[in-house]
Amino acid sequence: MEVTTMKITKMDYAATGAFSQTIADYLAQNGKLKPFYNRFPTIAAFEAQLQEKRFGQEQRQVLHRALQEQYRSVAEVNPKVQQNLDLLLQSNTYTITTGHQLNIFTGPLYFVYKIITAINTCKQLQAAYPNYNFVPVYWMATEDHDFAEINHFNLFGKAYRWESEQKGAVGRFTTEGLEQLLDELPEQFPVFEDAYRNNKTLADATRDITHSLFGEYGLVTIDGDHAELKKALTPIVEKELTENLSHKLVSETSAQLEELNYKPQVFSREINLFYLKDGLRERIVEEGGNYKILNTNISFTKEEILQLAKEHPEQFSPNVILRPLYEELILPNLAYIGGGAEVVYWFQLKQVFEYYKVAFPMLMLRNSAMYINRGNASRMHKLGLTPEELFKPYLELKKYLSSQLHEEEISLEAQRQTIDAAFKEVEKLAQTIDQTLVKAVAAEEQKAHNALQMLEKKISKARDSKHEQTFKQLENLKEKLYPGGSLQERHDNLLSIQANNPDFIAALVDAFEPLEFKFTILEEE
């Protein structure tokens, strides 16, 4: 098989026009944002983070046991993954974590980009700090209950959707119904066939997928929906139920961000916890001293719910405000890798971490990329455009192409003058022979002028039509690489590229420089 070579182009995130001002200011290390994070991620800054992060041997053993149990669902664990699982027992091993929902078939491309950012960060840290071990971790958002966000993906211009009546935490969903979706696909994709046909839950299937795609890079996938792991959350649950602690702290931080004209990304509630059972994940609210589970008849007294927190912490599920704290409690983690919106909401959480004396991880923007296949690269070059120019709005690019295509106004004036001169000679000759012929000559001259004018219009129209084809090509190219006016990575699926380029993931691993904080363009040559 022919090896696909890539041309790599890097550009500033701000230049893409696709990222918020908050992210632009963070990457520029604007001093206004400094109070809302711990350290800006550089190779050198990791040294202090390594010293600050505290993670005891007992915590490591709990983590290792839970992961070993979870990996029993994988038929054959990759030796590199098993090595990383065992390294987590050592006091000099730390993690770099990213997290995402359980999108079917991996969902949009940025799911893959997040994980490769974590993998490559570990590689760079291993080279810089050889006395430590670094393990890339993917945190599965198994407790998320927004099924509508994960039940679809786009492949080759068509949307595929998993229909299911199941409720509650999506990680506990059975894979029933996914086999019909597999049958609808234009071809078979073994990684997904195996995962969805041979696993009972979406969590197990997703672990299988990430293991198949990234096992050779040592990626460890963790599911926080685990009774032993949840024990670490018990003291936080008690404070949350009795003092509304995180709400007070996050509201204060959010107000500070707003004063600096930074829009908070997430909304805090008085109790940032859900009640979690099979088929159910609903908010906990306090009313008149009792704790009610929304949209159910379930309620607890204060004493009952605090007892439940001690005996069954697994029945409590943190929302977006407390999940990051939970992650950092159960992982020896140094940095969290997220998309633009994620990095921004972590800014709202720093006071919560400070209160609980948990090291605030370094916040890393995941790598973003645009992939230009050979066909689209050819179209781009024919239009005389560079990859960077493709981020400009369509109308701006159309105006630019118009200026490049501009030619002098089509005019047959010179030919008209030649005809005039010719007919004047004919008219002179006619006068010498028969004066009555002069009118006939004038009539023929007018016909010639009319024909010339008609030809002039046809030629102009043909040229304009040719330009319209160029503009249509531009419109199609923009839609391919910037679908629906959004970044490709937010719409297209891994299979849309990997089906034609099986080495796509390896190409991303070669191209991504996580701590460079540049947008990456991969162009097939």
* Tokens 């893409």, residue located: 16
Q: Which two tokens stand for residue 89?
A: 């027992």
Find the length of the chain: 525
pLDDT tens digits, residue range 297-332? 999 999 999 999 999 999 999 999 999 999 999 999
Determine the pLDDT at residue 464: 65
- In the prediction, which pLDDT does 313 show? 96
pLDDT attached to residue 419 = 85
17: exposed, middle or buried (C-beta count within 10 Å: 0-12, 13-18, 19+)? exposed
- Hunting for tokens 């007070």 — which residue is that? 248
DSSP 3-state of 130: coil
pLDDT at 437: 82
Q: What is the C-alpha separation between 403 and 307, in angstroms, rounded? A: 73
Question: Euclidean distance between the first and final Cα of the chain, in Å?
Answer: 15
* Confidence (pLDDT) at 406: 63
Cross-sheet strand order for the sheet of 519-524? 6-11, 519-524, 369-372
Listed in sequence order, the residues at least 6 apart from 195 whose beta carbon sits closer than 8 Å to its beta carbon are 205, 206, 208, 209, 212
Instruction: Provide the 3-class DSSP secondary structure of residue 363.
Output: strand
Extract the residue ranges of the chain whose pLDDT is less than 50: 1
Residues 387-397 have pLDDT tens digits of: 999 999 888 88
Centroid of chain to Cα 56: 34
pLDDT of residue 490: 94
Residue 308, CA atoms < 13 Å, CB-side half-sphere = 17
* C-alpha–C-alpha distance, residues 487 and 481, integer Å: 7
Please state, in angstroms and rounded to a whole number, the distance separating the CA atoms of residues 11 and 24: 13
> Which phi and psi (to 5°) does residue 183 adopt?
-70, -25
Amino acid at 99: G
Whole-prediction pTM value?
A: 0.89
How far is the C-alpha of 348 from the C-alpha of 351, rounded, in Å? 8
